[in-house]
Amino acid sequence: MTMMVFILLAYLLGSISFAVVASWIFGLPDPRTFGSKNPGATNMLRSGNKAAAVLTLLGDAGKGWIAVALAQHFAPTWELDNDAVTAVALVVFLGHVWPVFLRFKGGKGVATATGVVFGLNPWTGLLAIATWIIVAAIGRISSLSALMAAVLTPVYAWIFLGSEANTLVIFVMSLLLIWRHKSNITNLIMGKEARFGESDTP
């Protein structure tokens, strides 16, 4: 029963869309109505409000990290093992991708996954962030950066965590991230994916 409470709270936390929250705070249109229509930090940047984009990024990443951190802190108190932490790590990510508050139509999960990974293992999280930054600096394409990070992060996890359950969770999140970017992959192949500072191709 206690583990189910952990999982439910993680899902509800993951379901909070900071893109929508930032839009409300800054008086911006709903992020699902412009640009890529994705409630995420990159699309919020297209609104022209950098503060809103930063709030979205930090909020979405932060909820992933805090869910894992709280589970790690309270699991021993409630006599739960690492399975509870692993479940929370996956469910908070799923909550972002399929949020109950947005009729199960959420973001792609890049920031939240990064927060989760950082919570599970800071070194793996730092390498994932470094991968995103390096690819973004070279290619200037957000989706390409996310895809490269998604491909390489399970490798980093294997190095630091070995073949444990947390590595499997990171692998599953990476697969879902790649699947959520399927339209971006098509645009990349066709050379139509927008770079930073450009609007999406219709």
- Look up residue 172 and give its two tokens: 């599953």
pLDDT band at 125 (very low <50, low <70, confident <90, very high): very high
Using one digit for the tens of pLDDT, what is the confidence trace for 91-113? Answer: 999 999 999 999 999 999 999 99
- Half-sphere exposure in the Cβ direction for 158 (13 Å, CA): 6
pLDDT at 202: 37
Using one digit for the tens of pLDDT, what is the confidence trace for 57-68? Answer: 999 999 999 999
Residue 199 or residue 92, greater confidence: 92
Cα(122)–Cα(148) distance, integer angstroms: 19
If you average pLDDT over residues 42-55, what whole number do you get?
91
- Half-sphere exposure in the Cβ direction for 95 (13 Å, CA): 27
The owner of tokens 């927060």 is: 115
DSSP assigned state of 31: G
Domain chopping of the chain, boundaries:
2-190
Give this prediction's pTM: 0.93
If you average pLDDT over residues 45-73, what whole number do you get?
95
